[in-house]
Structure 1
Amino acid sequence: MTMAIEDRFTDLERKTREELAALLDQCGELADGVRYFEGDDLLDLLTVLDSIRALLADNVTTLRAAVSR
């Protein structure tokens, strides 16, 4: 039973690391938009960034929990 729980956390940690890295990659790709977009395009981009911010916070919390076990 204990081994299955540890395996699950290992999978969770791996999955969360991948999701977190993908979100960070996406942030980098959006940097030029922040620099150059205006008006509605910039507002749309800021909405995307706000969503990413929330996902980053969730993934960081999950990864901390997985790593500290």
Structure 2
Amino acid sequence: GRDPVVWPYLDGTAPFGLFPRYIGGDIFVIGLGAPFATANTHAPNENISIEQYLTGIKYMANIFYEYLC
């Protein structure tokens, strides 16, 4: 049990720290990430494989299920 780290503004993102004021609740942001060197993260040719994309969809579905159901 530690307090969460709050970063209201991150490079390359929207000002998520302002959202709770307008939606009336907390938010969380999770990226699928690219766990390999050739992903070229944030480059013009950034990429992930279809397998990683599908794994990310399952990951997000599990998170939504745990928090919303």
Q: TM-score by structure 2 length?
A: 0.37
Question: Relative contact order (C-alpha < 8 Å, sep 6+): which is higher?
Answer: 1
Q: TM-score by structure 1 length?
A: 0.37
Structure possessing the higher radius of gyration over alpha carbons: 1
If each structure's helix is expressed as a fraction of its own residues, which one has the higher value? 1
